A = this chain, B = another copy of it.
């Protein structure tokens, strides 16, 4: 065997067995269209999620759509124009709850959109149907509710803990109920492709504040996936800093409460396994210096040494 061939074979073997290379092979790509929790209308919760190598995205929450697509185009993640991205890349919407900062982009972009599904729990569909797509707040682009129904969107009711195909994508979803303040239901979506999963939580309070066990139940459901290293990322909110009085959280988390919850999860999975999951912090209600403060607080409160990720509008994440 000549020297050149020997060298080539060694190179290839090195590539295959290089642990860095193996670790870097991602299962999902996520393009945040909006990341913040309210106020600034240009950057509200919305995350495009697709399996690595696919362009068939589901959109988890839909606070800001158009302005986020514009940002993604600026960063050359899409070619554009924006309305083609809206129509062709987004195959459907997963809505965690119907507060305006999670649905405004979907509603306002509906005139430019094409036929697709909106997946949500029945309580969330009820608000879209009875409050927004009513001809009073907006034309009824959906297939239920006030007449005439333009039927561009088809509501697909999800059932807790029941797996559903996400049409037009290579992914499935399983929803779990969350508690977002007294009597207000929000949703966690477990999104799967093959053996890999990603967990996206809508707004949620901590069990100790909400006085229930919604998150504890969720952690029990997903712990086996963490243990098997199949859960690649966990998107969870931290709306307020620890300075926010705990009787004024309005169904949201702080760094302290986030870590209380993730400590519970780590008890079920072991710390090492949980450290492999990217913990993506969503829905911060803080800007400029206050945002820096909240990020620092999160890092300080992260006694488990978790992999915290701070998403940015229009910037690709891979897990």
Q: Which residues of A contact B (CB under 8 A)?
A: 38-42, 44, 63-67, 70, 81-82, 98-101, 104-105, 107-109, 111-112, 126-127, 130-132, 134-139, 184, 250, 287-288
Contacts and interface: CB of A to CB of B under 8 A. Distances in A.
A187 to B, nearest CB: 15
Nearest to A287: B82
A123 to B, nearest CB: 9
Given A38-B109, A39-B66, A39-B109, 10 more contacts: A40-B66, A41-B41, A41-B66, A41-B67, A41-B108, A42-B42, A44-B108, A100-B107, A100-B137, A135-B184
**Oligomer copy total:** 2
Contacts of A81: 288
Contacts of A64: 41-42
23 contacts: A38-B109, A38-B111, A39-B111, A40-B67, A41-B44, A41-B64, A41-B65, A41-B104, A42-B67, A81-B288, A82-B287, A98-B136, A98-B137, A100-B104, A100-B108, A100-B132, A127-B136, A130-B136, A131-B131, A131-B132, A131-B134, A135-B184, A139-B250
Contacts of A112: 39
A70 B288 CA distance: 12
Contacts of A38: 108-109, 111
Nearest to A123: B136
Nearest to A109: B39
A109 B82 CA distance: 26
Contacts of A82: 287
Given A131-B131, A131-B132, A132-B131, A100 B138 contact: yes
Contacts of A288: 81
Contacts of A250: 139
Contacts of A184: 135
Nearest to A65: B41
A38 B111 CA distance: 9
